[in-house]
Amino acid sequence: MYREVAPPPDLAEAVACVWSSVSRGGVILPDGCVDLVWRGDGLVVAGPATKPARAGVPAGVPVFGVRFRIGAAGTGLGTPAAELADLSVDAGEVLGRDASERVAEGGLPALLGLVRERLAPVDPIARAAALAMARPETRVAELARAVGLSERQLRRRFLDAVGYGPKTLGRVLRFQRFLALAAEERGEGAAPAGRRGTRRDISPGTRSAVDLARLALDAGYADQAHLTREARRLSGRTPAELLASGAGPAGERVRSVQAVGAPGAYRPAG
């Protein structure tokens, strides 16, 4: 069963959660996050995704990991997040050659120790701007002006901190918002069921109760056709196929960040 807990307080600025599970295989969907994943035979960095990817871990293997907050992966790993986009790489390439050995011997405490050694202050502007992209009405040009950057400068900050540009992150977070709304529609609440290849069975009666056209509008899409195109690009499936598979929301919870849009909220204090 997938389980996640809050990170230690000293890591909370950059780390969204610490999680553990038993692999069920399946497909990983884009969620804007970067994870460090112990997959049973080694430690990998699962970079920010723009397309579906196979979990790559045999079913039944215990796994655990650390999930960076959106916009915190670059400083958390000490490397530009864009270099990890759509990749799953041996953590030794990022954290040092002995990274897997340390986690194999020390488990989760050793993994947290690795993160602690690399941690640097999160770029507050990049972080706030990344969260702002969770709001459907956010426009990149307006966001850039709000944080005092040009669009090119804002994109560069995103590439370092998030792994891709603000428009792409906005698309990913809108897709996750659709999955979250669908989960609520099914009476499953807003809590994600886990990022990595999680699947759940739902009854045909439950599936038929989901109004895709309304969910598309609520999630911020122009219409159901727009939702369908984006779902295919990001997941390789139609919305109906996704919901029938039991796919649920994943990644960091970013739906409660409306206050980020308040005047001056993008700028760091002091």
Q: Give per-residue pLDDT as tens, 30-46.
A: 999 999 999 999 999 99
Q: What is the pLDDT of residue 187?
A: 79
Beta bridge partners of 66: 18, 36
Scan for tokens 């599970």, then name that residue.
21
Band of residue 190 on the pLDDT scale cut at 50, 70, 90: low
Segment 14-32 shows an average pLDDT of 90
User: Cα–Cα distance between 181 and 219 in angstroms, integer?
Assistant: 7
Average pLDDT, the chain: 85
More confident residue, 172 or 59: 172
Q: What is the pLDDT of residue 26?
A: 80
User: Cα–Cα distance between 186 and 194 in angstroms, integer?
Assistant: 17
Residue whose C-alpha is closest to residue 167's, from 14, 28, 16, 50: 50
More confident residue, 130 or 206: 130
Residue 135, Ramachandran bin (φ over 0: left; ψ between -120 and 50: alpha; else beta): beta
Please enumerate in sequence order all residues whose Cβ is within 8 A of that of 232, keeping only pairs 6 or more positions apart, or say none.
238
Q: pLDDT tens, 119-167?
A: 889 999 999 999 999 998 899 999 999 999 999 999 999 999 999 999 9
Return the DSSP state at 264. Answer: T
> Are the C-beta atoms of 70 and 32 separated by less than 8 Å?
yes
Q: What is the pLDDT of residue 85?
A: 96
3-state SS of 65-118?
EEEECCCCHHHHHCCCHHHHCCCEEECHHHHCCCHHHHHHHHHHHHHHHHHHHH
Return the DSSP state at 12. Answer: T
